[in-house]
Amino acid sequence: RNAEIDLETRLEKLFENKEEFDEWLERKNQHKVEYVDLKEMDGKDVFLGIDSGSTTTKIVLINEHGQVGAKHYSNNNGNPIKAVSKGLQIVFDDIIKSGAKINIKRSAVAFGLDDGLVETIAHYSAASFFDPKVSFIMDIGGQDMKAIYCQGGIINKMKM
């Protein structure tokens, strides 16, 4: 069989010119995660977050201002439980090396931790930290995608 392939079908350009790209880059760079040395968390309440998806595990330790003191990212290699356990050990080792004595006030997700947070709410919370008027969030995961529509501080529609 001969299949016809239309090589002219393309997505529209994201940017018409360098100026449009530079404007986008400037807007994007307004929102950055702040980092602090773990020593600055000594004696403070911190929060532990874990996102273990189908392909990767992310762990973060933040203070009450949303500043990151420790983080870990790794592939799951088909075993998310082992990846979380190993990641927690790495973060724990970093805390010990820093000499900081911290109080994990709240933590989220499994492993017998305080509570879990629905992934879409976690995405909205993070996005609204940077832009309280966020209206759209795209989550591209290891095996799925989610489009999250928000209006007035409320998630009002999701498409998978």
The CATH code of the domain that includes 45 is 3.30.420.40
Domain match, 108 and 56 both:
yes
Is residue 155 domain-shared with residue 104, that is, in the same domain?
no
86 and 153, same domain (yes or no):
no
Q: Has residue 112 got a pLDDT over 60? A: no
- Total domains present in the chain: 2
Taking the model in full, what pTM does it have? 0.68
Q: Is residue 24 part of a domain?
A: no
**What is the pLDDT, as a whole number, of residue 117?**
61
Q: What is the pLDDT of residues 65-90, one digit of tens each?
A: 999 999 999 999 988 889 999 999 99
What is Dmax (Cα atoms) for the chain? 71
Mean pLDDT, rounded, for 36-60: 91
Residue by residue, what is the 3-state secondary structure of the chain? CCCCCCCCCCCCCCCCCHHHHHHHHHHHCCCCCCECCHHHHCCCEEEEEEEECCCEEEEEEECCCCCEEEEEEEECCCCHHHHHHHHHHHHHHHHHHHCCCCEEEEEECCCCCCECCCHHHHHHHHHHHHCCCCCEEEEECCCCEEEEEEECCEEEEEEC
